[in-house]
Amino acid sequence: MAGQEIHHTLDLPKFDKRVKLLIVVAPYYKDIADNLIAGAKAVAAEAGAEVDLVEVPGALEIPTAIGMASRMADYDGFVALGCIIRGETTHYDTVCNDSSRGLTLLGLNGVAIGNGILTVENRRQAEVRADPADQNKGGGAAAAALHLVALSRKWARQTKGIGFKPAGEEFRVAGEPEGPSRA
């Protein structure tokens, strides 16, 4: 049973300058969303991060809002929160897959996102996962965002010199002797 499993949790990263997170939540199931938010805010506070919160109509709008904010606002990372409970139609599959895909594409483009969108079979599963005193998936999403912010800061401005010629350097093909520039 999953409830008996022991999972390893990384310690929260330490930051030497301010971290600003944006929590984007779809409060379709308001009580569940409120618990996810509480967990995320508590973890952010523990790490010393500043938090803003915006609401969107549903889980499909979360990636769009994060994409807009990543381009137009000043946030270091993002926490995606919401809940999708299986219903009687295939709409559940569409919302789960497309919201996840949107967040993944943003992440692969360098946006630091913790995904706390619950995808569950029933309300009880959502309640347990959202509860800050139980599985605390909101807190886990905030922690994931903070870890990705730490990585982005670690790797910031590091380049490998691939695909461009640094200013003031001559172009040379590997293995050729140094000599007149071929540029």
The 10s digit of each residue's pLDDT in 75-134 is: 999 999 999 999 999 999 999 999 999 999 999 999 999 999 999 999 999 999 999 999
- pLDDT for 150: 97
- pLDDT for 7: 85
Q: How would you class 143 by CB atoms within 10 Å of its CB: exposed for 0-12, middle for 13-18, buried for 19 or more?
A: buried
- pLDDT for 178: 59
pLDDT tens across 29-80, in order? Answer: 999 999 999 999 999 999 999 999 999 999 999 999 999 999 999 999 999 9
pTM of the model: 0.84
- pLDDT for 78: 98
Bridge-partner residues for 79, per DSSP?
23, 114
pLDDT tens across 159-169, in order? Answer: 666 555 556 65
Question: What tokens appear for 93 in the block?
Answer: 């599959």
The answer to whether 147 is a known catalytic residue is no
Q: What are the backbone angles phi and psi of residue 70, rounded to the nearest 5°?
A: -65, -25
Q: Residue 157 — pLDDT band, cuts 50, 70, 90? A: confident
As a whole number of angstroms, the distance between CA 107 and CA 41 comes to 21
Task: Write down the catalytic residue from 7, 8, 91, 147.
Answer: 91
User: How many CA atoms lie less than 13 Å away from 114 in the CB half-sphere?
Assistant: 31
